[in-house]
Structure 1
Amino acid sequence: MAKTNPGRFFEDYTVGEVIAHAVPRTVAEGERALYHALYPARHALYSSDVFAQACGLDGSPLDDLAAFHVVFGKTVPDISLNAVANLGYAEGRFLRPVWPGDTLRSVSEVIGLKQNSNGKTGVVWVRTTGLNQEDEPVLSYVRWVMVRKNDLHAPAPETVVPTLKPALDAADLVLPEGLDFSGYDFVQAGESHRWGDYVPGEIIDHVDGVTLQEAEHMLATRLWQNTSKVHFDTTVRPDGRLLVYGGHIISLARTLSFNGLANAQMIVGLNAGMHANPAFAGDTVRAWTEILDKAETDAPGVGALRLRLVAVKSGAEPGKLRGDDGKYLPDVLLDLDYWALMPM
């Protein structure tokens, strides 16, 4: 009897199936230190207990995207071990902070299936929830992924494509209990720009760039216990290249956005996301952001900005996303639509 896990293939999924993922993970200050070293993240709320306490929290939580990566990584052996590509995200909600010492686990429900016309692959939609040691949901999101078939003669399942919100409403956002930006320290945060300084339609060029290194993206992916073969095994892809984990690009772009959005402290909603083109070691990544919308919240001094964060290869023009044919330009790596909290 085989003892090893070859991973699931497209024909192994059923709509409505609930998958409890192994292995729970207790996160600590080490995850924060590595996250800040790899990208390097530097938003004040996630860097300083003193700053976070002045904003009404008990201390500095784990970075929101670090929590996302941990929850995501749990799902890979069951959802995307045999994936061709991770295609997109929707309806992502950050429901409560993750604190050092919390233990996270992940559960996914299959909510959609569609076999591709080539008969060799299909798209699987799942809604994943990350829970802490108290069984409290800390985040939830939908993603869809293209997965290989193992048995090409397996019949195609009934097509079910879930209806997803194009964007979360401001009322859908969950703010951390006690969050208060009324005494916000702009000097310590690094910039003076506040919620009222941003205008829908504004484009911000984040200026800085980072060249991807093989060792760094592999270390980051291992940190999240993401075991997808395309990130580590050069024999998996026909071109013999290691694909950079899309989440690595998300965190890198978010970190680059600090220059111009240092006060966009917390991500609370993930409206949509698309990995437009693959990234490889040697690519230099830059980022720009478009301000999409603004909303007030009930928390003291806290406003919400809806932002489109775009990661591109060096040389791409800020603000340019698609060609005349409506397709993403070849230098666009990531198109991420999210809600962030900022002092008013």
Structure 2
Amino acid sequence: MSKTSPGRFFEDYRLGEVIDHAVPRTLTAGERALYHALYPARHALHSSDTFAQGCGLPASPFDDLIVFHTVFGKTVPDISLNAVANLGYAEGRWLAPVWPGDTLSARSEVIGLKQTSSGQTGIVWVRTTGRSQHGAPVLDYVRWVMVRKRDAAAAAPDTHVPDLRAALDPGDLTVPEGLDFTRYDFAASGERYALGDYTKGEIIDHVDAVTVEEAEHMMATRLWQNTAKVHFDTRARPDGRRLIYGGHVISLARALSFNGLANAQMLAGLNAGSHVNPCHASDTVTAWSEVLDTAPTDAPGIGAIRLRLVASTEPGTDLRDADGRYLGHVLLDLDYWALCPA
């Protein structure tokens, strides 16, 4: 009997199944250093202990996307090893800061299944929760992924598409204990703009761009222990090209958004997200944001800003064609809440 595993295929999933993902991960300062080496990430709260202490925290927490990538990576061998594409996200919440020395683990529940019309693949919806070594949840989110079938002739499961919320309410967001922006240092943060300086519908072109390198995206994906074949093995896709991990594009776009949104310090909610078109090495990623909403919180000096973050391979803010289809150069369409000074 073989001791190795080819990973799960669509017909291996069952609605309501709970999967405890292997290999907990202890995060150290090394992950922070590598993250800042891989992306032009500069948000002050995740860069400086002194700045974080001025905002009421004991030290600088890990960048929220380090937490996301680490938890996501735990799920890949069980959820998306045989994926064709990761399709989207919803109902994501960052629930507590993560610090050097914390150990993260992940558990997922299968909440939806639907075979595609081709009969060759199916879509699997999972709700994933990341927890610390103390069992406390630090992150939860829903994602859905298109997975190959092992046998196209295998019977399709009953279709169940989960009813997901279009967006989180501001009251659903968690503000970390002790976070206080009443003495916020705008000079140290890099920009002077607070919540009241942004208006609904405002478009912010983040100006800068980053060209994706093959070595960098594979290093990043290995860092998160993401073993999906399409990111490493040129035989895994018909075009013979490695697919850039969608989270790599998210981190690039989020880092680029510093220019214009330097004070959108902490991610608090992930309302929706789609990896619209594939990204490959040598593509140059640009980003722009649209302000969708703003809201107060009960925490001192802290507001919430809802943003649409779009990454593309061409400059400009065009998103869809006349028929409403995404344009071919659009890579990412992400809707999220962030915490910023009120």
Which bracket does the TM-score occupy, shorter chain normalised? over 0.9
| Separation (CA, whole Å) in 1 of partners of 2:236 and 2:190 | 43
- Over the aligned positions, Cα root-mean-square deviation in angstroms equals 0.5
Q: Distance in 2 between matches of 1:190 and 1:97?
A: 22
Contact 1:283 1:314 (8 Å CA) reproduced: no
Segments of 4+ moved more than 2 angstroms: none
| Within-5 A mapping of 1:246-265 | 246-265=246-265
The aligned counterpart of 1:37 is: 37
Task: Give yes or no for the alignment of 1:182 onto 2:182.
Answer: yes
Query: What are the ranges of 5 or more consecutive residues in structure 2 without an aligned counterpart?
Result: none
Deviations 1:193-239 (A, max 9, x none): 11100000000000000000000000000000000000000011111
State the alpha-carbon separation in 1 of the partners of residues 40 and 290 from structure 2: 22
Shift of 1:151: 1.3
1:259 counterpart SS class: helix
Matches of 1:252 and 1:241 in 2, distance apart?
20
What SS does the aligned partner of 2:242 have? coil
Separation of aligned partners in 1, 2:23 and 2:320: 40
Q: How does 1:121-270 map to 2 (within 5 A)?
A: 121-270=121-270
Secondary structure in structure 1 of the residue aligned to 2:124: strand
**Which AA in structure 1 matches 2:322?**
D
Any stretches of 5+ residues in structure 1 without a counterpart?
none
Q: Is the 8 A contact 1:105 1:132 kept in 2?
A: yes
Paired AA for residue 218 in structure 2:
M
What is the CA distance between 1:314 and its match in structure 2?
A: 2.6
Instruction: Give SS of 2:247's match.
Output: helix
Alignment-mate amino acid for residue 167 of structure 2: A
Q: CA deviation at 1:56?
A: 0.6
What letter is aligned with 1:96? A
Q: Does 1:275 align with 2:275?
A: yes
Alignment of 1:339 with 2:337, yes or no, is: yes
Whole-angstrom CA distance in 2 between matches of 1:272 and 1:83: 20
Deviation at residue 322 of structure 1 after TM alignment: 1.0
Residue identity over aligned pairs, in percent, reads 72
Partner in structure 1 of residue 99 of structure 2: 99
CA deviation map 1:20-54 (0-9, x unaligned): 00110000100000001100211000001111011
TM-score, length of structure 2 as denominator length: 0.99
1:323 to 316, 321, 324: 321
Q: Quick one: distance in 2 between partners of 1:290 and 1:148? A: 35
| Deviation per residue, 1:167-186 (Å, 9 max, x gap) | 00001001100110000000
Equivalent residue letter for 1:93: R
User: Is structure 2 residue 93 aligned with structure 1 residue 81?
Assistant: no
Cα distance in 2 for partners of 1:276, 1:307 equals: 17
Paired residue for 2:120? 120
SS at 1:243 equivalent: coil
Distance 2:296 2:322 in 1: 36
| Partner residue, 1:54 | 54
1:5 to partner: Cα distance: 1.1
Q: Counterpart of 1:189 in structure 2: which amino acid?
A: S
**TM-score normalised per structure 1:** 0.99
The offset of 1:159, in angstroms, is 0.2
Aligned residues: 342
**Residue identity in the other structure for 1:62:** F
Aligned to 1:302: 302
Q: Is the 8 A contact 1:209 1:314 kept in 2?
A: no
For residues 325 and 229 of structure 2, the distance between their equivalents in structure 1, rounded to whole angstroms, comes to 28
